[in-house]
Chains A and B, each alone.
Chain A
Amino acid sequence: MIVLSIVTDALKNLKSNILRTGLTMLGVIIGVAAVIAMIAIVEGGQVWLVQSIERLGTNLLFVWKKTLTVQEQRKFAGRSTGLQYGDALSVRQQFPDLVAIPMIEFNQQLKTGDREFSGEVTGTWPEYQEVRNFRVEHGRFLIQSDLTEWKRVVVLGKEVAEKLFGSESPLDREVKIGDQRFTVVGVMKPKGTVYGTNYDEMVFISATTAIRRFQGEDTLRRMIVHVPDREQMDRVTQQLHSLLVQRHDGVDDVRVRNQGDFLNAVDRTIWTFRIVLGGVAVVALLVGGIGIMNIMLVTVTERTREVGLRKAIGARRRDILLQFLVESVTISVIGGCLGIVSGIGAAYGFGGFVAQSMPGGGDWGAVVQPSAILIAFSFAVIVGVFFGLYPAVKASKLDPAEALRYQ
């Protein structure tokens, strides 16, 4: 009853100055929309990153040469060899349960008659197909005899095949990689871009051929290890590391990371984003709150005589306080609702924008969580109460006799 009439009064007053109310509300709307959109985009980014990492293949360990610190360089005194082809062989020998593949990556030009393609060539093992879950569509992948005989055979990614051969079948055709003649034995299935890597632009040759014909030395940039039992990840990470250090005569120059480590890194990154973007959004909301306070102070001054009259005919301090507080909270509640709608709209709009403009960003949709909406909305209401309190208290403390005669 009395609360209802206070709310009706507040709505009437806000309606009577619709432009001013709208502009004040805009501050809250932008603040709430920013909070919701920021959270949704960051959450969406996290989901996208985690999916991307998981799509690299499951249960994987990544081994690569560590960048040594100055102290470590001095300590190892040039004895660091980095990751070597022999390490991969040794892992295969020592851990028959694991599937380890070396990755030798270098840039080269591929040519067929009048067409050419410049890109990265990967020297690896036949197991690559299983480890990365990336398979051939036509022909075959690398086989063991390609390794032992250093064969000059090549498997092309879908896009590379199309660039070099158009619609013709590339199988058994000849390709020049650098100045060496290779025979195309297979074409990969299309896979697209995952986490910044366009798998359709990859070119595979035998690891031994890569070392012998292109690299000249048997260092590896990295090695990927598939661990069949996920429970064993941490233990295998340890064992792998000690095996490699032992092989390197005690020189600790390799790093072994599993997906969990990457996921943790993503988590840390996401938290940084949350804090920074959340902070920006909260600042926007606070600015909106200051707008409310500003306009409520103006309103109180404008309505001094009204306050005087209300007090004269029986309004207690809390009645006046409530009246103005309800008005500021009404601004923040309505602003909050409109902010939720526009925030969700902005978040999905962003998702669509990323899907179209960012390579491989197709899956980065915004994730609007109910908790984010709740947080943003409660924050808006708190802002309305907090910034409405001072003007309302000011109004409630007006002296009735003076207020009545205020000009």
Chain B
Amino acid sequence: MPFLKAFPFQSNRGPSISNARVRSNRKPIIALYDISKTYHAGEVSIHALSKIDITIDSGEFVAIVGQSGSGKTTLLDILGCLGRPTAGEYWLDAQNVEFLSDEELTTIRNQKIGFVFQTFHLLPRKTAIENVQLPLQYAGLSSSAQRTHAGDLLKRMGLGDRMQHFPTQLSGGQQQRVAIARALVNKPAILLADEPTGNLDSRTGQEVLAMFDQLHQGGQTIILITHDHGVAQAASRRITLSDGQVVSDEAQDRSSPRMDGAEQP
């Protein structure tokens, strides 16, 4: 059953990548080598990303920070297998993604990546539980198995009494929690969050980040993409992008993140 195969934490399929950046005795779940992405707008070429090298180990909580135009959305697309790099290699969970077909990439997205978006992206005509069931449906699970898994997860996230509500009947924080449940329901290798607090007030945003922290404690690999340095403070490692290049990549003390958008000194 693909559901179980995708469970990331006992994965023994770590790649033997002989790269300087591989951190000792931990398994890299993501390895980007020389990743570039160039868009062509008529005569002009825009280098959204140039020669990015990033390795992320299983279980890490990484924030990718950058101003708009820094290339972080392009990087998110590549990490999430939503787009392909113009050049370079991307290894995800010991698999080179470069030569996979669109259909295989779709399966990767379904099995290994959980997306959380700024605007939640819940389907308005589906209830909370139906939204969470969706990735399981595409994974081919029976509808009773879908309901069991989605229901269990929503209960654990404190939404047991909101399962039959439609997104419009939920608060922003509840909607984002449903979206996170949807991202986690297939037990993905990485949780990819794109400005997950951007549409929430600061208190609710803190709750979401606290949830991420909890997931991190449980061993979930999380990549948080944000322009907000305060939000980035929640992660244990911060990669800063500027003009399509990595300008800094450092471990940081995880402190309680600030939501006011102020730069950390």
Report A's interface with B, CB cutoff 8 A: 1-2, 4-5, 9, 12-13, 16, 305-306, 309-317, 319, 399-401, 404
Contacts and interface: CB of A to CB of B under 8 A. Distances in A.
Given A314-B138, A316-B103, 20 more contacts: A2-B137, A4-B143, A13-B125, A309-B117, A311-B106, A312-B80, A312-B121, A313-B115, A313-B134, A313-B138, A313-B182, A314-B107, A314-B109, A315-B138, A316-B107, A317-B103, A317-B106, A400-B82, A404-B82, A404-B117
A404 B116 CA distance: 12
B117 A5 contact: no
Contacts of B123: 306, 309
A400 B125 CA distance: 20
Given A1-B143, A312-B80, A315-B138, A404 B106 contact: no
Contacts of B248: none
Contacts of A4: 143
Contacts of B107: 314, 316
Given A2-B140, A306-B123, A315 B106 contact: yes
B106 A316 contact: yes
- Give the one of B82, B102, B115, B186 with max A CB within 10 A: B82
User: Secondary structure of the A side of the interface?
Assistant: helix
A95 B193 CA distance: 103
A306 B102 CA distance: 18
Contacts of B82: 312, 400-401, 404
Interface in B120-160: 121, 123, 125, 134-135, 137-140, 142-143
Q: Label chain B's interface by main secondary structure.
A: helix
B196 to A, nearest CB: 15
A317 B138 CA distance: 11
A399 B137 CA distance: 21
Nearest to A309: B121
B77 A401 contact: yes
Interface of B: 77, 80, 82-83, 102-103, 106-107, 109-111, 115, 117, 121, 123, 125, 134-135, 137-140, 142-143, 182, 186
B138 A319 contact: yes
A312 B142 contact: no
Contacts of B135: 313-314
11 contacts: A1-B143, A5-B143, A9-B125, A16-B125, A309-B121, A309-B123, A310-B138, A314-B106, A314-B135, A316-B103, A404-B82
Contacts of A309: 117, 121, 123
Given A12-B125, A319-B138, A312 B109 contact: yes
A306 B143 CA distance: 21
Contacts of B138: 310, 313-316, 319
A317 B107 CA distance: 11
Q: Which of A1, A4, A9 has the most CB of B within 10 A?
A: A1
Nearest to A16: B125
Contacts of A312: 80, 82, 109, 115, 121
A2 B77 CA distance: 28
A1 B147 CA distance: 12
A25 B86 CA distance: 46
A187 B137 CA distance: 84
A2 B138 CA distance: 8
Contacts of A2: 137, 140
Nearest to A305: B121
A401 B138 CA distance: 18
A310 B82 CA distance: 12
Nearest to A308: B121
Contacts of B83: 399, 401
Contact of B109 (A1, A9, A306, A313): A313
A315 to B, nearest CB: 5
Contacts of A1: 142-143
A305 B115 CA distance: 14
Nearest to B125: A12
